[in-house]
Amino acid sequence: MLLADWLSENELTKAAAARLFGCSRVSVHYYATGQMRPGARICASISKHTDGQVNADDHQAAFMAGKGAADERAE
């Protein structure tokens, strides 16, 4: 599951998620939009706090989708 979908389903703000995961609100925004992938520590925290619903593969998928959109905008 993508982080953005999990946040929406759980009605959690990016600020609340940041406190839960141990990172900044801006970082949660970047992870949720696929602009960045979390490092190992935050990735593990996200997986733990989402009961495994959001994992490293999901972050990679979001990143690749975000990268593809960015590449199209650059053309």
What pLDDT shows up at residue 66?
81
- Domain span at residue 58 reads 3-74
* Rounded Cα gap, residues 72 and 17, in angstroms: 30
Q: What are phi and psi of 18, to 5 degrees?
A: -60, -45
- pLDDT tens track, the chain, 75 positions: 999 999 999 999 999 999 999 999 999 999 999 999 999 999 999 999 999 999 999 999 999 988 655 555 555
Are the CB atoms for 65 and 56 separated by under 8 Å? Answer: no
Q: Half-sphere exposure of residue 46, counting CA atoms within 13 Å on the CB side? A: 29
Domain with residue 46: its CATH number is 1.10.260
- As for how many domains the chain has, the answer is 1
What pLDDT shows up at residue 9?
98
What pLDDT shows up at residue 30?
95
